Structure 1
Amino acid sequence: MDKTWWKESVVYQIYPRSFCDSNGDGIGDLKGITGKLDYLKELGVDVIWLSPVYESPNDDNGYDISDYQAIMKDFGTMEDFDRMLSQIHERGMKLVMDLVVNHTSDEHPWFVESRKGKENPYRDYYIWKDPVKGGAPNNWGSCFGGSAWEKDEKSGEYYLHLFSVKQPDLNWENEAVRREVYRMMNWWLDKGVDGFRMDVISLISKDPAYPDGPAGLNSYAAFNFCANGPRVHEFLQEMRREVLDGRDTLTVGECSGVTLEEALKYASLDGKELNMVFQFEHMDLDFDENGNKWTDRKCKLSQLKEILSRWQAGLYKKAWNSLFWCNHDQPRVVSRLGNDSAQYREVSAKMLAVCSHMMQGTPYIYQGEELGMTNAPFADISDFRDLDSINAYRELTEKGIFSREEMLGYLRYKSRDNARTPMQWEDSENAGFSTGKPWIMVNPNYHEINAKEQVGREDSVFSFYKELVALRKERPIIVYGDYRLLEPESEELFIYERGLEKERLLVACNFTGKELAWELPEEMKGRRPELVIANYPDAQWADTLMLRAYEAVVWEWTLD
């Protein structure tokens, strides 16, 4: 398997609004990020993925872009960006930008022109349709609730918005749109950025017939129904030719609704499209049977293992994996899959890190994950800022599907705002994030959970992540080895083996709060393996492994 830097890297995602505020206005900014680069260098990460910092009305926290080549004033200036990029490169790290080109803001000059009339040259930059039977062109739902179509009273036509009504979808069938996108991408690469994370890139090609989806289609099903359209691979191959060929970049596509079969096209090692994709099968396991994410369900471990293992095996030597539990759209993993109690928070956070980072693929760390940050105790709907959460609360309580208390409980468990509370730097006011009033509540547990307390403490979650990151640079088996799942039916243990030539790794993770026994397979008994990493200080090897609550341990040996 060809060795490349982006396979061997660890990526750290920064959500700039919540990372570090340098000027006391309560909003994180580019100068704040620059001031914390030594922290990321200490952690050992190779690449920073920066969520959008472009000019935006901020309807969807910056994912509604009104100018792709300007910086949102909340975050600073282009000079601030250039200095940050220079400082990142000086420390030997790389910067990946968020590319949001399925849609723009309705305040983007293209859309302002587009809605002026049917004859406007920018009309075809977006997807406009005549009404059908006096209503929306089809039954597609917006990901943020309600119809995906908005009627323009002036023309009588509808425009498509798979997300907010203020995020009209671009018409990728129009070659002029694609040329504009490629020109903009080349501008950023010429500036020195090192790649792109491509937001909902699997949605850019729509079925030209715009058919109705399945009866009773809800918004998330509609979202997936539109994925992997007929020309998406053609468009991405064109992007590769026009922008990426000849440049040494990292490209990762957010591909909701992606199948393993499609991922083999998006992220094939032949290099025709992207380096890797984010798939979300494992993130959707706690949805209900109707595809509704607003639940407090826990996923079954056997299902989680089946999905992750299928992707490990299916992409091996054919395409490349991305490994993640957390991002700006997901709740905190220690509250979702681990145990965020004072007793088990740190040990379960470390266990989840081992489970993910020891698989094949490029690991992604979301800000605060390396501290074991938890979901927040939001008390009222007024505490939330996420458009998706607020819309869902309003829609589902007004329809009587959930009571207000039920819905608040689901939001506390699943809202995207759990990931967006400010980074917890220290135990001073506002967790050291800002000297002003933060744009969203600070999790009150910052007194116990913060970077200042953890950096330098040998048994902290931070130190454990630092060790995991370093291991990838020392042991090629972690990056390039094959994968074999053991105990697939267990609802308590996640155990797998990695292999590269004669080297073997055994990764054993206990997903429960109780001690469990696991008898080694015969071929492993009698060996004298080396302990690679463990989240308890006294891990013991034996023919029957005793795994304590949320214990994770990795052993290595060489075949005879």
Structure 2
Amino acid sequence: MKKKMPGWLSNAVFYEIYPQSFKDTNGDGIGDLKGITSKLDYIKGLGCTAIWINPCFVSPFQDAGYDIADYYKVAPRYGSNADLKKLFKEAHNRGMRVILDLVPGHTSIQHPWFKQSCEPKRNKYTDRFIWTDGTFITAMPECRSISGYCDRVGQYVVNFFYSQPALNYGFGRPDPKKKWQQGYNDPGPKSTRAELKKIMRFWLDMGADGFRVDMAASLMKGPKSSRYINKIWREIRQMLDRDYPEAMIVSEWGSPDRAIKAGFHCDFMLHFGPPAYNSLFRYETETKNKKSFFNRKGGGSVVEFVDYYKEIYKEADKKGYICIPSGNHDMFRLGSGRTDADLKVIFAFLLTMPGVPFVYAGDEIGMKHNVKVRSKEGGFERTGARTPMQWDSSKNKGFSKAVPGKLYLPVDKKGPEVEKQMNTEGSLWQTVKRLIALRHKIPALSSDGSFKVLYARHRKSPFVYERELSGQKYIIAVNPLAKKVKAVFPYKKHNSYTCEVEGSGNELKLSKSRVSIAMGPVSYSIYKV
């Protein structure tokens, strides 16, 4: 087990919920907190032990809730603070954890802090955001800024969209010629950091088990900012270790080696940053003229992932966890362009790797990306991954009783359904459930088991690796190609015992010095050795 880590994290499997499209209980066409609470038994039944809920706070929803107007209050369309508190309690009663989405780098332009910061007369929130000192003075090349928004002289720096002004955490190396640039220890940044801790304490005290941190590396601006970004998160980690030792923070950083050094318990491999994650599943949607390894037609290589993963795994080992998600609300759906057989092989990989797995709601049934849906709440190309969860064959796929025109987004009338897959032997849902159960049952397959690559070749399949813990060894082999493959590689073992505990019935032969595996098309196997 890692040092100073929440005890529950080593065996956690997370389930990400986009609240507005998960389950509607009041018939307004938008998912809500009571809907999430009503589905806790489903999530637990799948085998997931923790939930990440995307932002559910007061917002004008110009970026689907990542533009917060009140950090301390649940958006009325989702319910109330009392509903969220009850959700925490009901989850805990089932032995489950709940983390919230923390957006520390920016607010909405509708936030009262920003409205007061816009005032020409100096006040408590004048320095809560980053403003230049001239309406025609832009910030700097790496910082976009908006002019002419209000009567205050200056341009405000944005973190993402124009409607998301950057909170002032300071500059790593303020330019003495630009008096508007404040340093880490100036009053404005100090006040912002204090407010961040206050927000976190508020929800932790209510029952939250931690946070997924949006754009975690974006807080400080300018040259030499990395040092101070790390300092901010290390202070947060010290607060958690001291006062909330069972709480966790996972970052949207996309560089696990850097994020874990900065104090996070976990970080995601993502579709931005180093290309290793895309090389597994997403080159077809994120990069032109490249193929992913998990492509039945071939053309991809696992080596790009392996080389990067081995490097960051060495850095993260004993310090934190690397998360390889099935997807999220910002990515093209994993199920698009793939069969259920393809997805079973992918989940066999995701759920037997080290670190903490995250399953995006709907991926367990192979929901597809809706490429025809119109943008909603600043989703743009991402909107197709945010369509309603498809529960059954009833009205609106069981998501809502509202008339179809009132739905947050349209359902996929021909898409997969939870109920049908739960009752179909050998379905994708049943396979995911079985793989999660196996991960919980076998410690070597959990977050803390060691990891060793046994066979990985450029543009070849299969990918084979070993997991081990407390003398228990398992070999995992995945073949995403639509053809038979073989692999032979050195492997020292004192006996020839082997048993496939899960998989497609592929043949593994084990001697004292080598292993040979013959695999069928689009298949996987997990062997105890």
Q: CA deviation at 1:243?
A: 5.0
CA contact (8 A) 2:34 2:83 kept: yes
Q: Secondary structure at the match of 2:506?
A: coil
Q: Secondary structure at the match of 2:414?
A: helix
Q: 1:157 to 1:244 in 2, by over 3 A?
A: farther
Give the aligned partner of residue 175 of structure 2: none
Give the aligned partner of residue 310 of structure 1: 311
> For 1:6 and 1:250, how far apart are their aligned partners in 2?
9
Mapped pair 1:109 → 2:112? yes
Partner of residue 496 from structure 1, selected from 459, 465, 475: 465
> For 1:242 and 1:250, how far apart are their aligned partners in 2?
10
Q: CA deviation at 1:416?
A: 2.0
CA contact (8 A) 1:264 1:319 kept: yes
Which digits, 9 at most, give the CA deviation of each residue in 1:108-139, with x for residues without a partner? 1100100112623211100111359x452222
Matches within 5 A, 1:128-277: 128-130=131-133, 134=136, 136-140=138-142, 147-152=144-149, 154-173=151-170, 174-207=189-222, 229-242=226-239, 245-256=242-253, 258=255, 260=257, 262-266=258-262, 273-277=263-267
For 2:346, the aligned partner's letter is: L
Give the aligned partner of residue 477 of structure 2: 508
Give the aligned partner of residue 83 of structure 1: 86
> For 2:114 and 2:418, how far apart are their aligned partners in 1?
43
CA contact (8 A) 1:531 1:555 kept: yes
Matches within 5 A, 1:159-558: 159-173=156-170, 174-207=189-222, 229-242=226-239, 245-256=242-253, 258=255, 260=257, 262-266=258-262, 273-280=263-270, 281=274, 282-285=276-279, 293=286, 295=288, 297-299=290-292, 300-301=300-301, 302-335=303-336, 339-340=337-338, 345-376=339-370, 378-379=371-372, 383-385=374-376, 387=378, 389=380, 415-436=381-402, 437=404, 438-446=407-415, 449-479=416-446, 480-491=448-459, 492-521=461-490, 523=492, 527-534=496-503, 536=504, 538-542=505-509, 544-557=516-529
TM-score (norm: length of structure 1): 0.80
> For 1:320 and 1:472, how far apart are their aligned partners in 2?
16
Q: 1:208 to 1:87 in 2, by over 3 A?
A: same
Q: Secondary structure at the match of 1:123?
A: coil
Q: Secondary structure at the match of 1:509?
A: strand
> For 1:162 and 1:6, how far apart are their aligned partners in 2?
31
CA contact (8 A) 1:519 1:544 kept: yes
Q: CA deviation at 1:524?
A: 6.2
CA contact (8 A) 1:126 1:168 kept: yes
> For 1:547 and 1:139, how far apart are their aligned partners in 2?
52
CA contact (8 A) 1:306 1:488 kept: no
CA contact (8 A) 1:252 1:278 kept: no
Name the structure with the higher helix share.
1
> For 1:352 and 1:277, how far apart are their aligned partners in 2?
20
Q: CA deviation at 1:171?
A: 0.7
Identity %: 30
For 1:138, the aligned partner's letter is: M
Q: 1:150 to 1:494 in 2, by over 3 A?
A: farther
Count how many residue pairs are aligned between Structure 1 and Structure 2: 485
> For 1:452 and 1:505, how far apart are their aligned partners in 2?
33
Which digits, 9 at most, give the CA deviation of each residue in 1:451-502, with x for residues without a partner? 1011243412222222222222222211222212233333233221222343
Q: CA deviation at 1:308?
A: 2.9
CA contact (8 A) 2:133 2:154 kept: yes
Q: CA deviation at 1:306?
A: 2.5
Cα RMSD after superposing both structures: 2.7
Q: CA deviation at 1:287?
A: 12
> For 1:196 and 1:485, how far apart are their aligned partners in 2?
32
Which digits, 9 at most, give the CA deviation of each residue in 1:157-181, with x for residues without a partner? 1111121111111112311111112
Q: Which runs of 4+ in 1 moved over 4 A?
A: 147-151, 284-289, 292-297
CA contact (8 A) 2:21 2:386 kept: yes
For 1:427, the aligned partner's letter is: S
> For 1:158 and 1:293, how far apart are their aligned partners in 2?
33
Deviates more, 1:56-65 or 1:456-465: 456-465
> For 2:241 and 2:316, how far apart are their aligned partners in 1?
22
Q: 1:286 to 1:161 in 2, by over 3 A?
A: farther
For 1:466, the aligned partner's letter is: K
Q: 1:161 to 1:332 in 2, by over 3 A?
A: same
Q: Secondary structure at the match of 1:80?
A: helix
Q: Secondary structure at the match of 1:231?
A: helix
In structure 2, runs of 5+ residues without a counterpart are 171-188, 293-299, 510-514
